[in-house]
Amino acid sequence: MGIGDDDACNTGLVLGLGLSSPSKPDHNQTPRKIPLFLKLESTSFGDEPSLTLGLSAGGAATHKVDVKAAVGGDLYRQGSSLSAVYSFSSGKVKREREVSSEVEKNNNSSRISDEDEEGVNGRKKLRLSKKQSALLEESFKQHSTLSPKQKQALARQLNLKPRQVEVWFQNRRARTKLKQTEVDCELLKKCCETLRDENRRLQKEIQELKALKLAQPFYMHMQGATLTVCPSCETSRGVGDANNPYSMASKPRHFYNNNPFSNPSAAC
DNA sequence: CCCACTAGTCGGATTACATCA
DNA sequence: GGTGATGTAATCCGACTAGTG
C-alpha cells in the first residue's frame, strides 16, 4: 500500500557530526577526525525518539541517549556512568598507590616547587591560580594546540612544567568538544521534534485523503480523468515552511478532475 | 623506494583530588 | 563534620605521524 504503512513512521535518520576542531592547529599535526555519528531513531509513530551516539569506525562503543531523559542532561556524567563498558581496560590500569599520610597542603604555593615530589607518592592536585588559568585560556583562544616551542614558552611564563601545560590543553580541548557535542545534541533533539510534528501532520493528511477518497469514489475512478493541481494550492506551494528544510509541503494540495462538476475553489 | 624503529603528540577513558552545597 | 555532586589535573592507553637508519 505505501503511504499508509507504518514504515512511513519508521524514521531512521543518521546525521554525521564533523567534530573536527574548528580552529585547526597550525603546526604539523595532521588533522585526525574521529568519526562520530548520531543516529536518530523513532521506532513508531508517537514514540519517544532516541539518539544513539557512537563511533562509526572501530565500533568500540555506542551510547544510547534517551532524548527525553538526557536533555538537562549531563552527557559527561552519562559517559561516566557507562564506565562499565570500558572498564575492561581500567582494571589492569589500576595501580596500588601508597597513600602518603603526608599532611600539609601546600596552598597553591607548591606549584612545581619541588620537582622530585611528583611520581614518588600519590599525585597531588595542583590548583592553577586565576592568573595562570586566564593566561592559559587566552592562549587557548589563539590556538587550541601548542607547538613544542609555544608550550615551552608558556610553561616558562606560567612557571609550570611543559607537561602540565600540555595536559591542560588536552583537557581543555576535551571539554570544548564535550560542550560542542552537547550543543549538537540539543540541535538534533529540536530537529527530531520538528520531524515528529511533520510526521503527525502528514499522517493526518493521509487520513483526510483516505476519507476523501471513500467519500468520492466516483470522481476518482472516472475513466480518462486526469488529476490536476488546484491553482490556488499550486501557487501556495513552497511559500509556507521556508525555514523548515524537512517540510515536504506547506499544506495539502487538492486535486480535482477535469469535469464540469468539480469546482477547484469549492474543493479548497 | 620500502621497511622497521623511535619519539612525540593526540584523543578518549578513567582516576583521584579539591571544592562546594 | 560527613556526604554527594561537580570540576578538573593527571594518568593510562592506543593510534597516528614524522624522522631516521
pLDDT digits (tens, 9 = 90+) for A91-149: 333 333 333 333 333 333 333 333 343 333 456 677 888 888 888 888 888 888 888 88
Cα distance between residue A63 and residue A76, in whole Å: 12
Q: Are A149 and A165 in contact (CB under 8 A)?
A: no
Sign of CA dihedral A192, A198, A203, A204: positive
For residue A40, the cross-strand partners are: A13, A51
Nucleotides of C under 7 A from a protein CB: 6-14, 16-19
DSSP state, residue A141: H
Give residues 33-92 of chain A lying near strand C (Cβ < 7 A).
Answer: 74, 76-77, 89, 92
Nucleotide with C1' nearest the A146 CA: B9
Closest CA to B12 C1' — which residue? A174
Instruction: Tell me the pairing of strands A36-42 and A11-17.
Output: antiparallel
Give residues 171-200 of chain A lying near strand C (Cβ < 7 A).
Answer: 171-172, 175
Cβ A30 to strand C below 7 Å: yes
pLDDT digits (tens, 9 = 90+) for A155-186: 888 888 888 888 888 888 888 888 887 788 88
Nucleotide with C1' nearest the A60 CA: B12
